[in-house]
Amino acid sequence: MSPIESAVTLTVNGSRRTARVSPSTTLLEMVRARLELTGAKECCAEGECGACTMILDGEPVNSCLVLAVETEGSEVTTIEGIGAAGMTWLQESFLATGAIQCGFCIPGMVVAATALLERVPRPTESEVREGLSGNLCRCGGYSRICAAVMVAAGGDGAT
């Protein structure tokens, strides 16, 4: 039996988008392959690394653990939607702090950090670590990523 395709319509980065997906297609796969937004990355495909983080109906989630069909009518923000109208202060802060090495984890980090700052505008360093603990960086950029978020939040960026 071949998978039954259906159309899913949702709002992505403020625009209404429709895609044909099979029931087993994940939100990550739909966004990357069908909507051609390749900012979010696939790494572990099971919710352990955070490289696929997107904001779904206001909350950061691992898009590899959401079926595309679950997102009918939902609102999704991807990395492309953050700073679409010019880089955010958070993104500038990442650049200035030397937080970016290979860059593969960075879209997930920026999305998770953006969601964190929306919920907790002035986090402590501990809250930043906790809020980003679902995002892995093998290049080991944690200190600077943390500092970048603190600077963007108006903290002093001290590690």
Q: Which residue of 10, 12, 19, 79 would you call a contact of another protein, by CB under 8 A?
A: 79
The amino acid occupying position 75 is E
- Contact with another protein (CB under 8 A): which of 7, 9, 98, 154? 98
Whether 93 contacts 101, CB under 8 Å: no
Our finding on whether 18 is near another protein (CB under 8 A) is no
102 scored as a contact of another protein (CB under 8 A): yes
Residue 70 or 156 with smaller CB distance to another protein: 70
80 binds another protein (CB under 8 A): yes
Helices (H), the chain: 27-29, 89-97, 106-119, 125-131, 142-153
> Which C-beta is closer to another protein: that of 122 or that of 138?
138
106 contacts another protein (rule: CB under 8 A) = yes
74 touches 57 (CB < 8 A): yes
